[in-house]
A and B are shown apart, each in its own frame.
Chain A
């Protein structure tokens, strides 16, 4: 059943009052002697678009496969809506997966593909027929019901894979890098569709990707995984604006790093000394109490050039310019450091700065972040 628009309001809802859809409790995974996933625990809430983000080999797919039942956790348990599903084989779990390369059955028509799960669940014939029609309609593929998967384009296959996974009314929908096989334009269009579909169905989506932009665009919350550990779990804004450590700041978006000495920490602010000999009071959320060394992260878009330079002012030489249409990226040498700066082209009616030019650059100290370890 599609509960379009009847789900609880999405954003701004207090997470604690929402029902837990999936609980990952003390789960770890070893492959032989290789630790694919260190012990992790977190909850995924009902109605949430939850993303597991990380580079390849970070353990995100392993985690997804453990929820689906294709891998067994080495320790810990996975709970689905309050029930421990550890002992259930994949075909008895009320979760369905959209596979990376869709894995549509080539010998079946699209209708048969979608009906497959329903037949296995023993639905009556008329209900199956109605549900298949409903699903085809949902993904705008009704015209193609009798086609075989080989006769579809990538985007169409993607939609059918979605319809097939949604048909048996899973409690949670798992998506394993579903957009990675599509070309750029289609990928962007499918992002919109996926998000709309999630709102429309009110279903919990667990989405695996290595594409940070995708994650920022679609997720309610992002779990950033690296080296088999959770690096940070938070909303897209939190992980971008307040990355917990160097890994997260580096993986999500562009940034400039400076090794700094921590002088003092007071609430959300930390006083640090930069290698340029500058003392700054920057924002912090994740610095430990006894931390003396830290990384300062300064996003390229938070730095103003020339007439937009405010706050702390530095002078440097432009060493390279990259014109990217909407933006121009500059690398500016200040003392011993190369600082990357991006400038929106619409905002500056001046032509690109020439390489070799001496420029003023400035940033507000509170827009710089002191990272934890």
Chain B
């Protein structure tokens, strides 16, 4: 039995090691290396790459504080937070509405929610270029109403980027939220009304707290990939606003500074881990409370 467990799981372990752990170790190694003269890297241990996140080297070799990259990190976290929040706010009513449908309609609607995943991410983001772009659907529509003449460009700004992000990641929120709402006992909602709770009170004090696990699961699923988003900032944000994902890509590409790119990637990974850890702690604390 033990043997079987070892051999049975071996392929999974090998796969994990080769595709997850080894690459991460390589990235860590690169981040502590020196930049090669023509891109790439030379392995001579240094923490320069990490220092570069916070400090510039002046003409005379002195270090001066440079908040530029901190801004990018902060901006990335902010964008991820906004996206997560908007996804929550939009996904909850959508998921709730789906639970109210008949069995057949539900299956179809859930399939529709997952449908975008069948199409390439790039194609989907390009679709937004067409919707928001000059002579796009929205602009033409508005012009047809005759109310608006001269529109500022809808593309290449924070709004367009956010719209694209929410669009890309909202299915990851809808599915777990749907699952948690579906599990909700309708008798509890009736009991709340029976105990003089208005619709609003029932939503705030009964439905939302009981669906909270689903919202948290969805938030993690959305927040984590948002931190590393590359496509939306480039295509919809116009690449003018740098996010961590773009920064990393630039370092490995045009800037040819692999160690610096690797160090930012490690920082990004640590950020994700901090958020997951916080959530884990919260869950454990809650479980402890339940036990007590």
Contact = CB atoms under 8 A, between A and B. Distances in A.
Contacts of B209: 107
B197 A68 contact: no
B201 interface: yes
B214 to A, nearest CB: 13
Nearest to A90: B193
B240 interface: no
A140 interface: no
A104 B187 CA distance: 9
A323 interface: no
Contacts of A271: none
A150 to B, nearest CB: 8
Contact of A117 (B190, B196, B206, B290): B196
A168 B196 contact: yes
A317 B104 CA distance: 59
Contacts of B276: none
Contacts of A103: 185, 187-188, 190-191
A181 B88 CA distance: 37
Given A107-B210, A116-B205, A120-B201, A68 B194 contact: yes
Contact of B191 (A99, A107, A121): A99
Interface string B198-225: 1001000110011000000000000000
B201 A105 contact: no
A312 B205 CA distance: 68
Interface in A78-118: 89-92, 96-97, 99-101, 103-107, 116-117
B195 interface: yes
A157 interface: no
B191 A91 contact: no
Given A106-B210, A107-B210, A148-B290, A117 B187 contact: no
- Tell me whether chain B's interface is mostly helix, strand or loop, or mixed: helix
Given A101-B187, A103-B185, A107-B209, A91 B197 contact: yes
Contacts of A42: none
Nearest to B201: A120
A92 B196 contact: yes
Nearest to B194: A97
Given A117-B196, A120-B197, A164-B195, A90 B190 contact: yes
Interface string B155-199: 000000000000000000000000000000101101111111110
B197 to A, nearest CB: 5
A116 B210 contact: no
24 contacts: A69-B193, A70-B190, A90-B193, A90-B194, A91-B192, A91-B193, A91-B194, A91-B197, A97-B191, A99-B190, A100-B187, A103-B190, A104-B191, A105-B192, A105-B206, A116-B192, A116-B195, A117-B195, A117-B197, A120-B198, A148-B290, A164-B195, A165-B194, A168-B196
Given A89-B193, A90-B190, A97-B191, 13 more contacts: A70-B190, A91-B194, A97-B190, A97-B194, A99-B194, A101-B185, A103-B188, A103-B190, A105-B206, A106-B188, A106-B210, A116-B197, A121-B196
